[in-house]
Structure 1
Amino acid sequence: MNIFDRKINFDALLKFSHITPSTQQHLKKVYASFALCMFVAAAGAYVHVVTHFIQAGLLSALGSLGLMIWLMATPHSHETEQKRLGLLAGFAFLTGVGLGPALELCIAINPSILPTAFMGTAMIFTCFSLSALYARRRSYLFLGGILMSAMSLMFLSSLGNLFFGSIWLFQANLYMGLLVMCGFVLFDTQLIIEKAENGDKDYIWHCIDLFLDFVTLFRKLMLILALNEKDKKKEKK
């Protein structure tokens, strides 16, 4: 029997029998909003790189925080849907602007870092998202406590590193942060499914969870590649 003659049923691969049809429709809205955020964030990052606005990092952080609070305070309903989508787009744009300083740093070191980091992040995000979607319901929700504990440990070590100034501790935090964010993709995806199954259909707010996971993954992977590239240049000298 020739194994290459077997036909792959791609329709079966895309079926999520353990997820109800209403939740599947909700997930489509979540990922459609996520795609919108990615496009708008890319536009924001491009604007910063072109304009070289020095204070963009601080101002965009404050602006995105304000829009997030505004979005949180705006109830989810059909009447407020367009307004909340506008707030979501504004939040994504300012988040993209906030990435500008890190992008400029990587461009100065080696412009090829950016596409490599983006493709790597996209692959990581896609693989872990699919793992969460195909896995049994609630199977990754136990990660919540572990991930929050790891985040607390990373925060404390970052504070301590302000006094020690250790590059090794900084790099360890980067790699640990990358691993933790992979866990958050699993956790947040299954948490969104669980919330939707229980009647929470706020796809705009659920989109923010995944968008922040992607942005944080991208930022950490970009910095890791930038540091590795700087080390290679030092060795050549």
Structure 2
Amino acid sequence: MFRVGIVSSIRPLSNPLIVQVAARRFQAPSFRSFSQLRPNVLATLQRRASPLPSSGFKTQSRTFLTDSAPVVVRPTQAQAWRRYGITAATVAGTIIAVNAFFNRETRDSLSAAEQAYLHESFMYAGGGLGVTALVARSLFKSGAAVRIMSANPWVVLGVSLVGSIGTMMGVMYTSPENKVLKHAFWLGFNVCQAATLSPLFFLSPAILSRAALYSAGVFGSLSYIGATAANDKYLYMGGPLLAGVTVVALSSLAPMALPLGMRGLAVAEAISLYGGLAVFGGFILFDTQKILHHARMAETGTVPRDPMREAISLELDMINIFIRIVQILTMQNRKK
């Protein structure tokens, strides 16, 4: 459960791509003020009476200013629909391929208790992700994201760790009978996640929407595989995944703490991005099967029934996958 604090809390704040986009946004008013000087320059040139008549000069100057190729070429509607179709086909093909590879041995149908427990866990996970997105957007619009990015990253990391881990432990160890306090910790956990994710809104909405679509496809396909696979098939992955997330966390913090060269930074970034995708994809399989295992234990009275606690793990998997897909898409967009 502690995999959230180090891995997902600092990455939106330490991402240089987000800092560059934010800096460009802050410089936008200066470009607008510079462009306001252009009519005065043209009027001055026109008053200096070149041999060309005034009407001809206006025509040529207008042609000079407007006939150049646009900097940003927007795709046509047909091209946009083609891209959406390719994206949907890629997601669907990935789901089918992953299901065929990981889910060769399916289990019997879920019992009523397992279905109810799994449904409630995913309902809390979806609600928590929705709260996180709405609060992060509100913080971005209010300017809190700028203040977070301008603060000391180590202070932000410490505060986010304390807030995220503290509220997460509150959700885990508060009794399900104490619904008011447990929901308060759950809301606090999602607010802490929103505060660390709010700088992502400096990026293009197209990148964020594509990353959300890809993340939903990965999350949905792997959770479906975990729910329909044979009982306890992926529960053995807990130990290797814990070791993997430790390596991913260290690779995320290495550029901030160690004087690495360019090659070392590239290796650490690759481990954090692509290794993180593999590790948290495995956590989706593990956490889904753990929910079903706890559902069977709760049915016999061995453990208390606590779907909100299970939802925290699912939210962390989704958030970490989303962050990495956003960064991969941003890097690809810069190379174009």
Unpaired segments ≥5 residues, structure 2: 1-106
CA distance in 1, matches of 2:143, 2:270: 27
Offset from partner CA, 1:38-97 (integer Å, 9 cap, x none): 2211111111210221138825554333322322332222xx123312321221132122
Structure 2 Cα separation of the partners of residues 160 and 85 of structure 1 = 35
Whether the aligned pair in 1 keeps the contact of 2:136 and 2:198 (CA below 8 Å) is yes
Paired residues of 1:18 and 1:136 also in contact (CA < 8 A):
no
- Would the alpha carbon gap of residues 65 and 212 (structure 1) be closer, same or farther in structure 2, given more than 3 Å must change? same
Alignment pair present for 1:198 and 2:297: yes
- The residue correspondences of 1:26-37 to structure 2 (distance < 5 A) are 26-37=117-128
Query: How far off its partner does 1:160 sit?
Result: 4.8
- CA deviations on 1:4-59 (whole Å, 9 max, x unpaired) are xxxxxxxxxxxx74432112111111111112112211111111210221138825
TM-superposition CA deviations, 1:157-180 (whole Å, max 9, x none): 445553214342112321110111
Give the letter aligned to residue 86 of structure 1.
Answer: A
Bigger radius of gyration = 2
Q: Give the counterpart letter for 2:181 in structure 1.
A: K
For 1:55, the equivalent position in structure 2 comes to: 148
Q: How many residues align?
A: 211
What are the within-5 Å matches in structure 2 for residues 58-207 of structure 1? Answer: 58=156, 59-77=159-177, 80-104=178-202, 107=203, 110-158=204-252, 160-161=254-255, 162-165=258-261, 166-169=264-267, 170-199=269-298, 200=303, 201-207=305-311
Structure 1 residues 46 and 61: CA distance shift in structure 2, 3 A: farther
* Closer/same/farther in 2, CA of residues 63 and 145 from structure 1, 3 Å limit: closer
Residues 44 and 96 of structure 1 are in contact (CA less than 8 Å); yes or no, is this contact kept in structure 2? Answer: yes
SS at match of 2:259: helix
> RMSD of aligned C-alpha atoms?
2.1
Segments ≥4 residues shifted beyond 6 Å: none
Do the aligned partners of residues 88 and 175 (structure 1) sit closer, same or farther apart at CA in structure 2, a change above 3 Å counting? same
> 5+ unaligned residues in a row in structure 1: which ranges?
1-15, 233-237
Q: Which amino acid aligns with 1:99?
A: L
* TM-score, normalised with respect to structure 2: 0.58
Percent identity of equivalent pairs: 27
Aligned equivalent of 2:15: none
